[in-house]
Structure 1
């Protein structure tokens, strides 16, 4: 049996294969064809490799300058590529992007056929009652609108909620490309990929559409101004109706599901991973602030019930923990991306004569 420390992508690779098989089986059973979801910078199979190339280029020039100086950038570029970009490193980066892509596409397609496989069973009534009980028999929408208002807060939270879409793949590209310790990149890729899988399971455990779409609570959000988030909510519900009208021939992917909040699980994963890996306090603060504002936005706009977002936090923690175990990072001391890039160890790149090359940012 392969050691997870020697093969950090073995675990998530198996998970990706099983996810693909489940998505294909669901497609065959329902008759709904598999689709590659469009998104930031186009289809996933285009934007992920493109982001990796952009991250590589972004780090290559500074690394070349640090290695050989401003006047010998071309020689520096050659040395960085020759001595630092080993075949194993390139393969690990490609594997991280591939497993993330397979898990994400599988998740989107399994989420799309959710209403077909679960039928009319929805848990919104129970989740809404629980929400009101938690908030003292008051609709949470009114609580958040009273506390934060419906002006600047709505615009800020809308921005934070939507910036999640490009931040997720960009963060993956940054960690995979910039981390010299390959197990750190594998850890992050595994944790992020697992969010899609565990989140899909949660959708099927408690199918729900969320407060903004549930007839018992939707009217409470009418006081919110028009934002890009509200436009997205309208588009997703229209896609749901189009899909349900003719699932087999619909040209859209169904994307409505409340329990659990993957916005919360993914941003918590990002924040917790950064907290464990990065020593820069500013970056760690940004990570936690991004998660906190995202958590608030999921409730403020009615995407999720409180229990959905709390479950998302649990999923995020679980994914980081499993990712650490699967990639051999479970008992490893806290490390930093900065120290990974400048560590004086046996894995540091060497020149033709065996001399240790200067550290770089790639």
Structure 2
């Protein structure tokens, strides 16, 4: 059966998405580029995050079992008894699917000026105006919330998403022994990039702050407004300079900030992580939604479409990795739709670890899925 491996579905989809991106690149004679962040290219950031979480998972265990004086030897023992090459392989598969989808998304987004110039901003702006009874939602938020300290707070929330989402992915892939749960999250996040790109091409827009910039001149000096200026300069450089090395990064419909953060919150709720962490995640989501409208990144319809993408991504991800209720019931009855490989160490290693840590709880699962 096609979905015997929890990464088969997203692996095939991500590969197909990458082929489309490369085809567009060849057709337009625009080289594929790797988007860079504050820690460098994505192919550096993601493995670095994985290694950091790997260290966070094994070093405390090694200290707890063998003490500070034997920590180096203890780390080797924890790796030997708790980790297998299969487990490393599935972590790599999750990171690769996410990375491939993200890089393809960023490049396909960059081709929008050539293939689908923005044409729907006025219609979506009018819809917002009608929806709020003759008012623009961003103007209402500026009036109610002001343009001072609140702007700074929600700006930090908005831009921090670029760092927090990869961190949560690394946590689920590395710190959780249930391979299907990490695969579910990696699949759901990757689908956001794919479905979001499709939405950009269906309804091309740039968003209120770029289509109607004078309405947002009252907001300045925040990380979000600085990011907008940076994107505007890069976008203009791409359009005016054929030799530009920048990636065009402006698109409105749908809001992937909303879709990705909503995906994370819905996934956290369905996997039942600690209630406090769930509450923090939903508060963060509320701040993200506010920021998208407040700073003019998106229209309200963009955010609604983002919610839909998030729901689709989570539920398709659950199906693709064997995590629906029906699939779990079938698996319990001995008829799994997706076979999750046993990544536990060899029985002899387990026996030795049990003897070494008699009486201790040997679970290294930090992210609860109970």
Q: Same fold judged by TM-score > 0.5?
A: yes
Q: Does 1:196 align with 2:193?
A: yes
Q: Deviations over 1:275-322 (max 9, x none)?
A: 111341100001111111001100000000001011111111110101
SS in 2 for 1:303: coil
2:81 alignment partner in structure 1:
83
1:85 Cα deviation from its structure 2 partner: 1.2
Indicate which of 138, 144, 152 corresponds to 1:147.
144
1:66 alignment partner in structure 2:
64
1:352 Cα deviation from its structure 2 partner: 2.1
Distance (Å, rounded) in 1 between the aligned partners of 2:220 and 2:114: 33
2:11 alignment partner in structure 1:
13
Q: Any conservation in 2 of the 1:83–1:351 contact (CA below 8 Å)?
A: no
SS in 1 for 2:211: coil
Q: Deviations over 1:213-240 (max 9, x none)?
A: 113xx22211123211111101101111
1:163 alignment partner in structure 2:
160
Distance (Å, rounded) in 2 between the aligned partners of 1:188 and 1:353: 29
Q: Any conservation in 2 of the 1:23–1:109 contact (CA below 8 Å)?
A: yes
Q: Any conservation in 2 of the 1:66–1:360 contact (CA below 8 Å)?
A: no
Q: Does 1:230 align with 2:225?
A: yes
Distance (Å, rounded) in 1 between the aligned partners of 2:153 and 2:172: 27
1:354 Cα deviation from its structure 2 partner: 5.2
Indicate which of 349, 352, 355 corresponds to 2:348.
352
Aligned residue pairs total 345
Q: Any conservation in 2 of the 1:268–1:313 contact (CA below 8 Å)?
A: yes
Structure 2 residue ranges without an equivalent (≥5) = 330-341, 355-360, 366-370
Q: Any conservation in 2 of the 1:261–1:308 contact (CA below 8 Å)?
A: yes
Distance 1:132 1:68, change over 3 A: same
Please report the TM-score for the alignment, with normalisation by the length of structure 1. 0.91
Distance (Å, rounded) in 2 between the aligned partners of 1:353 and 1:205: 54
1:339 alignment partner in structure 2:
none
Cα RMSD between the aligned structures? 1.8
Q: Any conservation in 2 of the 1:67–1:359 contact (CA below 8 Å)?
A: no
Distance (Å, rounded) in 2 between the aligned partners of 1:71 and 1:135: 65
Indicate which of 312, 323, 327 corresponds to 1:318.
312
Structure 1 residue ranges without an equivalent (≥5) = 335-345
2:177 alignment partner in structure 1:
180
SS in 2 for 1:361: coil
Q: Deviations over 1:74-101 (max 9, x none)?
A: 3431221012111110000001111111
Distance 1:187 1:353, change over 3 A: closer
Distance (Å, rounded) in 2 between the aligned partners of 1:35 and 1:220: 33
Structure 1 stretches of 4+ with a deviation exceeding 3 A read 66-72, 346-351
SS in 2 for 1:352: helix
Q: Any conservation in 1 of the 2:84–2:343 contact (CA below 8 Å)?
A: no
1:269 alignment partner in structure 2:
263
